[in-house]
Amino acid sequence: MIRFDSVTKSYSGQSRPALNDIGVEILRGEFVFLVGASGSGKSSFLRLILKEEKPTKGQIHVLGQDLGKISTRKVPYFRRDLGVVFQDFRLLPNKSVFENVAFTLRVIGKSRGFIQSAVPETLKLVGLDGKAKRMPHELSGGEQQRVAIARAIVNKPQILLADEPTGNLDPVTSAGIMTLLERINAGGTTVVMATHEAGIVDQMRRRVIELSAGDIVRDERSAGYDGQTVRDVDYVPETGDGSGDPGAEVDETDATGRDEAAAAGAAATAGTMSTMGHAAPKVTPEIMRDAEPLYVEPEATDEVTEAAAEITKAATGAIVVDPEKLVPKGGGKPAASEHLTLAERLGLRAPGGPREGDDDQEVGPTK
């Protein structure tokens, strides 16, 4: 689905490459966290997948296509299968929620009818039903990010790239956004997400690719932020005086998730740094566990209900069988015209056995 073969990316004026001879493959349906210190190459990795940057050396294949062979003219077509979400949402400030989500569809020439049904459907999916007319500034940060996610998935992309999508959000909202991305992934979309959020990575236990100064230094399945050793569920930040008071609670504002700055400040004051040089997990395991699902399961439409009714009817109803086809191989009299149930046709029940409506219904396994 995504393959890097010996990829190096050097920017002009930089003494060392942002990515250094990278080789990696991401399969369809995977959920991959890209972790690593600031400047380790995570965003460069995502931009290369999008063909926003060209590799200095090596080859990249995405969705079976060699990106080096896609002409500039065809890049927009290639990107239709990719959705992107950024830390700073990047919504169009003077367009409504509906228009923000519809925008990409209009650009790629989708019909009015398609847009009128796809946009509300996607807004519902991300839990923003009823907010279509709002302007971005009338929404909370989490809601704005959900608009950005709706925009990224409205065209049902095969791959969703997310560059620190929770970076600007409070812990509770971050956890909610993760339930949404998890659900999108469960629907078959491959998700690649760059993050500094140890709490999220530790709790979700997905594939983790760690970059360090442009090298892949770790590629593990079901891993935590710092490797297989996932933080204890009752992780408590150490205190600055080194006492490591086990009774110390995570700052209340962190637990309620409404004051990201205060939480980050508290962690910094506590002097707690992860091995990658970042503050202690903002999104604690408790917050991840209690995350409100933001994804709304689509309701069965009439179409689905009718299709289901047809299937039920076929399974329980009678099928008229041509009597000619019931002539025994060795000759003999053709059987009289007969109705067989689907169960009989499939050999699950002997023809002529008890049927629906018979007084003496079969309830146990057939002999």
Based on the shown chain and the rule CB under 6 A, indicate whether residue 55 belongs to the binding site for ligand ATP: no
For residue 321, with 0-12 CB atoms within 10 Å meaning exposed, 13-18 middle and 19 or more buried, which class applies? middle
Residue 223: CA count within 13 A, CB half-sphere: 16
User: How many chain residues are in contact with ligand ATP, going by CB under 6 A?
Assistant: 11
Question: Judged by CB under 6 A, does residue 189 bind ligand ATP?
Answer: no
- The residue range among 40-48, 99-107, 136-144, 277-285 that interacts with ligand ATP, by the rule CB under 6 A, is 40-48
Rounded Cα gap, residues 303 and 316, in angstroms: 20
Stretch of residues binding ligand ATP (CB under 6 A), selected from 11-19, 111-119, 221-229, 275-283:
11-19
- The smaller minimum CB distance to ligand ATP, of residues 41 and 55, is found at 41
- Enter the tokens of residue 193: 């997400």
Q: What x-and-dash track marks residues 67-106 binding ligand ATP by CB under 6 A?
A: ----------------------------------------
By CB under 6 A, is residue 18 in contact with ligand ATP? yes
Q: How far is the CB of 38 from ligand ATP (least distance, A)?
A: 3
- 3-state SS class at 162: strand
Answer yes or no whether residue 172 interacts with ligand ATP by CB under 6 A.
no
Closest CA to 139 of 95, 179, 181: 95
* Closest to ligand ATP by CB, 45 or 98: 45
Given 6, 25, 27, 38, the residue binding ligand ATP (CB under 6 A): 38
List, in sequence order, every beta strand (DSSP E) within 170-308: 190-194, 207-212, 215-220
Strands ordered across the beta sheet of 159-163: 82-86, 159-163, 190-194, 31-35, 207-212, 215-220
Counting contacts by CB under 6 A, is residue 11 touching ligand ATP?
yes
Task: Please report how close the Cβ of residue 194 comes to ligand ATP at its closest, in angstroms.
Answer: 6
- Cα–chain-centroid distance for residue 253? 28
C-alpha 363/C-alpha 367 separation (Å) is: 12
Which residue is listed with tokens 């004026």?
Answer: 13
Choice from 23, 39, 76, 227 touching ligand ATP (CB under 6 A): 39
Alpha helices in 111-259 (DSSP H): 112-125, 141-153, 171-186, 198-204, 252-256
Q: Are 339 and 319 in contact (CB under 8 A)?
A: yes
Tell me the C-alpha distance between 171 and 167, whole Å. 10
How far apart are CB 50 and ligand ATP at their closest, in Å? 13
Stretch that binds ligand ATP, among 37-45, 233-241, 242-250, 353-361 (CB under 6 A): 37-45
Q: Which is nearer to ligand ATP, 31 or 86 (CB)?
A: 86
Closest CA to 40 of 67, 68, 15, 20: 20
Neighbours of 132 (CB within 10 A): 18
Applying CB under 6 A, among 36, 171, 237, 281 the residue interacting with ligand ATP is: 36
Helix axes 141-153, 112-125, angle to 10 degrees: 130
Q: Does 166 bind ligand ATP (CB under 6 A)?
A: no
Establish if 257 lies at the interface with ligand ATP (CB under 6 A).
Answer: no
Say whether residue 44 binds ligand ATP (CB under 6 A).
yes
Judged by CB under 6 A, the residue of 2, 22, 26, 42 near ligand ATP is 42
**Closer CB to ligand ATP, 150 or 201, in the complex:** 201
Helical segments of 154-251, H only: 171-186, 198-204
Beta-bridged to residue 86, according to DSSP, are 163
* Distance of closest approach, residue 215 Cβ to ligand ATP, in angstroms: 12
Q: Is 20 in the site for ligand ATP (CB under 6 A)?
A: no
Paired residues of 319 in beta bridges: 340
Our finding on whether 41 is near ligand ATP (CB under 6 A) is yes
Minimum distance from CB of 260 to ligand ATP (Å)? 17
Cβ-contact 51, 70 below 8 angstroms: yes
- Of 35 and 118, CB closest to ligand ATP: 35
165 near ligand ATP (CB under 6 A): no
Chain residues binding ligand ATP by CB under 6 A are 11, 14, 18, 36, 38-44
